Amino acid sequence: MSGYDYREAQKLAVKEYKKATARGESPYPIGLETIVSSGQMSAGRNLGLEQIPLALVVGTKHEGRNNAFARNFMPLLSSSSEFADKWITLCDAHLNEGIREPVKLYEYRNRFYVEEGNKRVSILKYFEADSVDAYVIRIPSARDGSEEAELYEAFLRFHGWSGLRTVEFSCPGSYERLQHLMGKNPGEAWTEDERTDFLSFYYYFHKEYVSIGKGKTLRSLCDDMLAFIEMHGYEKVRDLSPSQIKELLRQPIRKTMRILAVADDESKYYYEYYSPGKLDDFDLIIACGDLHKVYLEFLTTMASCPVLYVRGNHDDILIEDPPGGCICIEDKVYEYNGLRIAGLGGSFKYREGRNTFTEEEMEKRARKLGKLIRRHNGIDIMVTHAPARGLNDFDSVSHRGFEAFNHLIEKYRPAYFVHGHIHKNYGAHIPQISEHDGTTIVNAYEHCIFYV
């Protein structure tokens, strides 16, 4: 019987091998030694015994040991080889008793690489098992300023709260958004019942999502799952049957507006580490102040969408020498693809400057802007540099929020309030995305992606 299973697994391996080579990709599992340094490897930390989703096991520790498998871990070697005999013997043991001995894995940025147990992983993947017991060593993530590093740090925080490994997003702030939709504060641990309920919904969502041919990557699935929960509410979706989930998935999950918000520090991912196409998928870019003119001009040159901006407290020079190609929305309501976007830049007056204001001065600006907002029958997005008072701000004068912004939020109830000014080095406890009385608050420091 296991001889038949080997031949079937080998067919899957050959199919995967051909598909990878046709695309010019490596047909073998990824070698961990090719992506991390020896210093990182030796700095690994033992996490003990864990249950690891097999979908996240993508490679081997030693590149030289991976040519017996295609990249899907199905066996490539001849069915008459010694390797095949060992695979078949282990497969028989699995069918009779189950694979009980844990494998040994290295983890790097939530992907796992086999040190011991390649055949066990191969057999479990062949039989479509969900997970494998493993002794895990975590390799420290390189702090290289890349988006992957930032995403991994956000994932680690969320994993510490939830204990979940199979939730991955394309935006760091999405983890806190899911935490909020679950009715929990950032840093608040999930109970075992909450984890079980969510995993049950996740399982059926994943199954129906794949069955109707939606996106193939884990991140695209989770991004759409988050939008699905936002649209329908977690209390509702967790009680849906699989057929109800499938029916709702056949409808558009979200509108197509994908917005990049930036502020204060130039994003290395979209600047220093830029590669062609990184900005192609955005429908709008919103800059919330204190960004260099050259950077703003770079964004508008590389992106095919408008770049809107307000000025920060360090942007006096932009009054006389504005960034070419960008659209200033100071004291205006700008309409784009049906979105009404209002802007009020500047910070609380802690020194003399053309972009610092007292509360009274900002209130005067807000009243004038209110007249424009009423002419447009409201706004969808409010863009500022400083935060609103009590929403992501501090008591110090230089980083105090404006009460005038609170009044605008309360009166016109924009769907989004997007600001900058609060840097991560002193506002690390502040969530990138939160909610206040029906308005989503976005701290755009460096960069944040959100959907409207």
The pLDDT value given to residue 392: 83
Residue 26's nearest CA partner among 65, 56, 54, 67 is 67
Q: Which two tokens stand for residue 206?
A: 């994943």
Is the CA virtual torsion 38, 40, 46, 52 positive or negative? negative
Return the pLDDT at 423.
84
pLDDT at 114: 95
Percent of the chain with pLDDT over 90: 63
Instruction: Note the pLDDT of residue 281.
Output: 77
The two structure tokens encoding residue 203: 């399982």
d(CA 50, CA 131): 10
Residues 236, 152, single domain; the answer is: yes
End position of a domain, from candidates 107, 138, 169: 138
Reported confidence tier of residue 269, pLDDT bands at 50, 70, 90: confident
Q: Are residues 308 and 437 in the same domain?
A: yes
Tell me: do 268 and 373 sit in the same domain: yes
pLDDT per residue as tens digits for the range 174-217: 888 898 888 888 889 999 999 999 999 999 999 998 888 766 67
- Asked whether residue 259 carries a pLDDT value surpassing 70, the answer given is yes
Residues facing residue 53 across a β-bridge = 131
What CATH number did the domain enclosing 399 receive? 3.60.21.10
pLDDT of residue 54: 93
Pair (152, 93) in one structural domain: no
Q: 255 pLDDT exceeds 80? A: no
How confident is the model over 327-349, as a mean pLDDT? 94
369-396 confidence digits (pLDDT tens): 999 999 999 999 999 999 999 888 888 8
Q: Which residue has the tokens 């659209």?
A: 327
pLDDT at position 437: 85
pLDDT of residue 312: 93
pLDDT tens figures, 31-58: 999 889 888 888 999 999 999 999 999 9
Strands of the sheet with 284-287, listed across from one edge: 327-328, 307-309, 284-287, 258-263, 446-451
SS3 content of the chain, % helix, strand, coil (to 5): 40, 20, 40
pLDDT tens digits, one per residue of 351-376 = 999 999 999 999 999 999 999 999 99
Measure the CA–CA gap between 29 and 61, rounded to whole angstroms. 10
Strands 57-60 and 111-116: parallel
Region of residue 277 (phi > 0: left; psi between -120 and 50: alpha; otherwise: beta): left
Tens of pLDDT, residue by residue over 280-297, are 878 999 999 999 999 999
Environment class of 252 (CB within 10 Å of its CB; exposed 0-12, middle 13-18, buried 19+): exposed
Please give the full DSSP string across 152-198, using - where no structure is assigned: HHHHHHHHHHH--SS---SSTHHHHHHHHHTT--TTPPPPHHHHHHH
Residue 64 pLDDT exceeds 70: no
Percent of the chain clearing pLDDT 70 (strictly above): 97
168/236 same-domain check: yes
Average pLDDT over the chain, rounded to an integer: 90
d(CA 234, CA 433): 18
Query: Does one domain contain both 238 and 323?
Result: no
User: Beta partners for 116?
Assistant: 104
d(CA 230, CA 236): 11
**Residue 427, pLDDT above cutoff 70:** no
pLDDT band for position 145 (cuts 50, 70, 90): low
| Residue 8 neighbours by CB under 8 Å, 6+ apart | 126
Instruction: Identify the band that residue 444 occupies on the pLDDT scale cut at 50, 70 and 90.
Output: very high
Whether 159 and 83 share a structural domain: no
Give the pLDDT confidence of 404-423 residue by residue, as tens digits: 999 999 999 999 999 999 88
pLDDT of residue 267: 87
- Comparing 65-74, 104-113, 263-272, 427-436, the range with the smallest average pLDDT is 427-436
Say yes or no: 238 and 274 in one domain. Answer: no
| 230 vs 51: which has the higher pLDDT | 51
What are the phi and psi torsion angles at 24 (to 5°)? Answer: 75, 20
More confident residue, 146 or 28: 28
Q: Provide DSSP, 411-424.
A: HH--SEEEE----H
Residue pLDDT, tens place only, 431-442:
888 888 889 999
> Looking at 249, 278, 299, which one is the last position of a domain?
249
Sign of torsion over alpha carbons 201, 202, 208, 212 = positive
What integer pLDDT is reported at residue 254 of this predicted model?
57
Q: Alpha carbon 345 to chain centroid distance?
A: 28
Tell me: pLDDT of 256 over 70: no
pLDDT (0 to 100) of residue 433: 86
Please report, for the domain that includes residue 66, its CATH number. 3.90.1530.10
Number of folded domains that form the chain? 3
Indicate yes or no: pTM above 0.85. Answer: no
Q: Do both 280 and 299 map to the same domain?
A: yes
Nearest to 380 by CA among 345, 346, 337, 320: 337
What's the token pair of residue 2? 């296991």
Boundaries of domain holding 73: 2-138
The residues pairing with 45 across neighbouring beta strands, listed in sequence order, are 138
What's the DSSP call for residue 311? -
The residues that bridge with 244 in the sheet, in sequence order, are none
Q: Give the angle subtended at the CA of 257 by the CAs of 255 and 260, to the nearest 5°.
A: 145
Q: How confident is the model at residue 87 (pLDDT cuts 50, 70, 90)?
A: very high
Mark whether 311 and 405 lie in a shared domain.
Answer: yes
Give mean pLDDT, residues 239-264. Answer: 84
Structural contact between residues 50 and 136, judged by C-beta atoms closer than 8 angstroms: yes
Q: What is the pLDDT of residue 151?
A: 85
Last residue of a domain, one of 138, 158, 184: 138
On whether both 152 and 97 belong to a single domain, the answer is no
Pair 326, 421 in one domain: yes
